[in-house]
Amino acid sequence: MPMEHVITSRPQWFQLLQDEIKDHKTLKIGLVNLDNASFFDYAGLRGAENMEMIDVKFPKVSDKINWKDLFPEWIDEDEVSAKPTCPEIPMPVFEEYEELDVLVAKVPCKHVGVDGSRDVFKLQVNLVVANLLVRSGGWNKNRPAYAVFIGDCEPMWEIFRCEDMLLQEENLRVYKPELEKLKEKIRMPVGSCQLARLFSKQGQEIRKSYSTSVPDKTLFHKPREAYVTVLHSSEAYVCGAIALAQSIIQTNSTRDLVLLADDSISPKSLHGLIAAGWKIKKIKRIRSPHAPKNAYNEWNYSKLRIWQLIEYDKVIFIDSDFVVFRNIDKFFSYPELSAAGNDGYIFNSGVMIIEPSKCKFQNLMNKRFEVGSYNGGDQGFLNEMFVWWHRWPTKLNPLKIFVDSSPRDLPEDSYTVHYLGLKPWTCYEDYDCNWDKVESQIFASDSAHERWWKVYNKMPMELRKYCALTPEMDARIIKWRKKAKKANFSDGHWRIQVKDPRRLSY
């Protein structure tokens, strides 16, 4: 039964909620993972006036369910054998908890360094609160709902956004979620155990979520969206970025193209990038604190700058060693952070959708020293910061890597190709030069190589010069061709007669 109390002193957070919810004489407060005594201890109440407390009951998720069960390395995306399923995370009987004004929850907390962020019970508590908030204020209702999280640990910021925080005190945080955003989250599978869902209301309900918090503007706000890539530290990927832009344009995309560039990119290259379709934004690069000095990923944290693109509601980041073959504009309908899987329970950050935000960027910057990275680069760090992510199909980020004797042809219906190993523009057009080095042969694919060059050959001539073959590049290819010939590699690519016209241009 609900319990009513009389208050003698009102803490700041409680006063804030009473001021926010002016049309209610009594606040209906649901308690999640919290009893009344704990509520008073943490929340600073000695009793409560105009407050009705309701204990939200739900079965605790089974201890047998691990994070890897929610985020498996592989699922049967094409449903060849069976439709992928997710473990059950129990929810309350929602009909018993309608029209709550406030949800107060204690977030389960594990010690840092024991993978405390990947806690199934913590996820359950966050999802319980999110579902109750949407059902109290978001389903066919036009009333706000609030969440108060108490305890040492924060709620999952993948679900409760820093932009929605009204108040932060020691061991207490108050949120007023944008409920349309929260709807997107709770409609997603509980983990990457299933593909993220694409909803048909792309121009309606989902699109409202990109609006400002002012209700009368919600229906009229046109979402601002862009593809973005980053170039820093050298000009090695200028050609790749030009090909990427052209490939997106060739699919008839209607979104902006934004390129973040540091001072290493010359005016000449910037001119070519602009001609290719990019809008240029200059940035100061960010060092990866967990990467060795002079490592290939020493400055990869520069990618964090994409969260500063607050003039856009959503951006899809794509690394510059991709090309796009099919229009992927529909993927802007997914929430942050959606990406394809990588190894274990992590995602691949080569292509992903994010929602720019000043507070998210600042939080990422603040946490970059204390939160580790399994590979010293941005992918490891982002996987620790966004542990609850949504699975995109592999064909949106097929990695050009072949670990066994399987066919080296990527699926024809792939949206993109992610070119690992030696990049196509550093090889001859005639064949994939990854074949010429034993350690690079896992990245070799003639069909994928050919697909990149199809994009290149559709580019205007003025852009192709940015992919020129230099004498140094040519000498490197010749060196490894000779070694492949001497070793008599069975693939025989070293026998191919080279006709790449770029050899005549230097």
The single-letter code of the amino acid at 12 is: Q
Domain spans, the chain: 12-187, 229-396, 416-447+465-495
How many helices (H) and strands (E) the chain has is answered by: 13, 16
71: exposed, middle or buried (Cβ count in 10 Å: 0-12, 13-18, 19+): buried
| pLDDT at site 96 | 93
Tokens representing 65 are 């369910």
**Longest pairwise C-alpha distance within the chain:** 89
CA distance 417 to 419: 6
Given pLDDT bands bounded at 50, 70 and 90, which one contains residue 170? Answer: confident
The residue with greater pLDDT, 117 or 92, is 92
Q: Does the pLDDT at position 98 exceed 80?
A: yes
| pLDDT at site 141 | 63
Average pLDDT over residues 135-145: 73
Given pLDDT bands bounded at 50, 70 and 90, which one contains residue 90? Answer: very high
Average pLDDT over residues 165-186: 93
C-alpha atoms less than 13 angstroms from C-alpha of 482 in its C-beta half-sphere: 6
Q: Does the pLDDT at position 446 exceed 60?
A: yes
Given pLDDT bands bounded at 50, 70 and 90, which one contains residue 99? Answer: confident
Given pLDDT bands bounded at 50, 70 and 90, which one contains residue 219? Answer: very low
| pLDDT at site 322 | 98
Query: Which range is least confidently modeled, 34-38, 54-58, 218-222?
Result: 218-222
Residue labelled with tokens 């069960």:
69
Query: Which range is least confidently modeled, 105-114, 223-232, 266-275?
Result: 105-114
Given pLDDT bands bounded at 50, 70 and 90, which one contains residue 16? Answer: confident
Q: How far is CA 314 from CA 119, 264, 332, 349, 505, in A?
A: 28, 27, 7, 15, 41
Query: Which range is least confidently modeled, 10-14, 118-122, 193-197?
Result: 10-14
390 closest CA partner among 195, 240, 117: 195
369: left (phi over 0), alpha (psi -120 to 50) or beta: alpha
CA distance 112 to 370: 10
| pLDDT at site 113 | 43
Given pLDDT bands bounded at 50, 70 and 90, which one contains residue 138? Answer: low
Q: Which CATH class is domain 229-396?
A: alpha beta
12 closest CA partner among 4, 23, 20: 20
DSSP H helices in 399-470? 446-458, 461-464
Q: For the chain, give the number of residues.
A: 506
CA distance 87 to 103: 25
Given pLDDT bands bounded at 50, 70 and 90, which one contains residue 354? Answer: very high
Tokens representing 158 are 């993948």
| pLDDT at site 191 | 98
Given pLDDT bands bounded at 50, 70 and 90, which one contains residue 216? Answer: very low
The sign of the dihedral angle between the CA atoms of 276, 423, 72, 373 is negative
Percent of the chain scoring above 90 in pLDDT: 74
List of residues 6+ apart from 253 with CB closer than 8 A: 227, 327, 328, 329
Q: Does the pLDDT at position 137 exceed 90?
A: no
